[in-house]
Structure 1
Amino acid sequence: MTITTEFRLRSSALPLVSIPATLPPDKIVCSHALCLEPDARVFIVEIDAEDDVSEAQLAALDEVVTVTPLGDRGDTTVYKLTVELDDSISPAFDPERFDGAKMKSTNITSEGWHETKEFKDYETFHDFHTTFENHGISLDLISITPDQSSSNDRTGDELTDRQREALTLAVSRGYYESPRQVTAAELAEELDISQPSLSSLLRRGERQLLTSSLDVQEHINTLSK
C-alpha cells in the first residue's frame, strides 16, 4: 500500500535553506533533486522573478558549487544548482536508502523544508523518519494518507475513517515499535482528542483489523451474545 505524507524537516544544515535565510526570497520551490555522489546533489529550484536574485548571488553561497540558469517559467526563474551537502546530514540524503520514495515539489524557507512525499509502504516512511532524526534533522508529520486503490488485500476491513486515521498515525510515529517512540498522550495531542478517546479508537481499530484478517468475526459475535 503506497502512502502520501506531508511533513516539515527542520535543520539549519538542510540544503538550500541558506537562500531564503540570506537573500530576498521568503520561499523557494524545489521541483527535482538528483544525487551525483554521496556529498553532492543537483536541485532544480524556482525563485520568484520579483525577488530579483542573480546567478552571482547564488554562486556566492558557501554550499553552492555551480549555478546554471534554465530560463523562466511563468513568474519564476528556474535554476539548476549543484550543492555540496553538509557532512553531518549527507548520509540521510542517500537515495539508495529510500528508493521507494517519490518526491513532489518542496517549499523551502529559512526554517526548513515543507515536503510532500509518496512512500511504497509504512516501513519505508518509518526508516526515512528515523534516519533523518538520527542525523539531527527534525521531522514534524503533518498528515499521512494511505492509497487504498493500491491495495487489493486490505479492502473490506470496515475501519471507520477516524480509526484508520488514528492507526495510521500510530504506525507512522512508531507507537507499535519496541520500545515505543511516541506516547499515547502525544498521539492524542496530534489528533486533538483526549487520551481515552485515542485509546478507544486504537483498541476498536485493532480489534476490527484482527477479526477481519483472521476471519473470526462470527465466533466473536457468538461469544458476545
Structure 2
Amino acid sequence: MTITTEFVLRSPSLPLVSITNTLQPNELECIHALCLQPDVQIFTVQFDLDDGVSKEDLLPLDEVVEVDSLGETGDKAVFRLTVELKESVSRAFAPDFEGAQLEPTTITTEGWYETKVFKEYESFNEFRRSCESHGISLDLVSITPDPSTADNSSQDGLTDRQREALTLAISRGYYESPRQVTAGDLAEELDISQPSLSSLLRRGERQLLTSALNTETHLNALSK
C-alpha cells in the first residue's frame, strides 16, 4: 500500500537551513535536487524577490561551493547551488527508501518540510530510522494511504476508527522493537483514553489477522 507522508526534518546539519539563519528570508523552496557525489549535491532553489537574496549573498556561506543565478520566474528568484553535504546527512540519505518527492521542499529555520510518497509503511519507517540514527529528527505531520489502494483494502473489514488508530501506531513506531511510542502517547494524540486505544488496536489487529488468514468462519465457530 503506497502512503503519502508530510513531515519536518530537523537538524543543524541539514543543507540550506543556514541560509534562513544567516540571510533571514522567511523561507526558501528547493524545487530540484541532484546528487553528484555522496558528499556533494546540486539544489535548484527559489526565493521571493522581496527577500532580495543575490548570488553575492549566497557565495560566502560555508556549505555552498558554487552559485549560478538562473533568473526570475513570476515573483521568484531562482538559483542553482552546489552544496557540500555533511557526512551525517550523506549517510542518512544514502540508502534507497523507495520514496518520491511530491512537492518542493520548503526550508525554514525550523528545518525541511517535505511531502513524499513511499511504496509501503516499512519504506517510510526505514527512512525515519536512518534519519534519526544520524541525528536528524523526523516529526510526522500526516500519513495517508493511497485512495486507490485504500478502496481495495476496505475488504479487510476495519472500521475507520480502527484504521486510523492502526495507521497512527505504525507511523509512530508502536510496533517496532523496541517500541518508539507508548499506548498512552497514541491515546493522547487521538484524544481518547488509553483503554479505548488498546481496544481499538486489539480489535483492529484481530480483524486484520482474520481477513489475512481467511479464518473468520473458523474463529466464529470456536468462539461459540
**Map of 2:54 onto structure 1:** 54
Structure 2 CA distance, aligned partners of 1:197 and 1:42?
49
Aligned amino acid, residue 203 of structure 1:
R
Please show how residues 76-225 of structure 1 align to structure 2 within 5 Å: 76-94=76-94, 97-103=95-101, 104-150=103-149, 154-225=153-224
| C-alpha spacing 1:206/1:132, structure 2 compared with 1 (3 Å) | same
Q: Identity of counterpart residues, as a percentage?
A: 63
Aligned amino acid, residue 169 of structure 1:
L
Structure 2 CA distance, aligned partners of 1:197 and 1:30?
42
* Aligned-residue RMSD, C-alpha: 1.8
| C-alpha spacing 1:168/1:110, structure 2 compared with 1 (3 Å) | same
Aligned amino acid, residue 206 of structure 1:
E
Report the alpha carbon displacement of residue 153 of structure 1 after superposing the two structures with TM.
6.6
Cα displacement string for residues 170-196 of structure 1 (whole angstroms, at most 9, x for unaligned residues):
122221122222211122233333222
**Map of 1:22 onto structure 2:** 22
Report the alpha carbon displacement of residue 22 of structure 1 after superposing the two structures with TM.
1.1
Structure 1 CA distance, aligned partners of 2:168 and 2:177?
16
May I ask how many residue pairs the two structures share in their alignment?
Answer: 223
Structure 2 CA distance, aligned partners of 1:84 and 1:193?
46
| C-alpha spacing 1:73/1:193, structure 2 compared with 1 (3 Å) | farther
Structure 2 CA distance, aligned partners of 1:193 and 1:107?
33
TM-score w.r.t. length of structure 2: 0.92
| C-alpha spacing 1:148/1:64, structure 2 compared with 1 (3 Å) | same
Report the alpha carbon displacement of residue 223 of structure 1 after superposing the two structures with TM.
4.2
Cα displacement string for residues 37-86 of structure 1 (whole angstroms, at most 9, x for unaligned residues):
11111111110011110111011111111111122222111111111111
Q: Which moved more, 1:141-150 or 1:58-67?
A: 141-150
Report the alpha carbon displacement of residue 166 of structure 1 after superposing the two structures with TM.
1.4
Gaps of 5+ in 2: none
Report the alpha carbon displacement of residue 164 of structure 1 after superposing the two structures with TM.
1.2
* SS of match in other structure, 2:128: helix
CA contact (8 A) 1:148 1:155 kept: no
Structure 2 CA distance, aligned partners of 1:113 and 1:143?
15
Structure 2 CA distance, aligned partners of 1:202 and 1:24?
45
| C-alpha spacing 1:224/1:99, structure 2 compared with 1 (3 Å) | closer
**Map of 1:43 onto structure 2:** 43
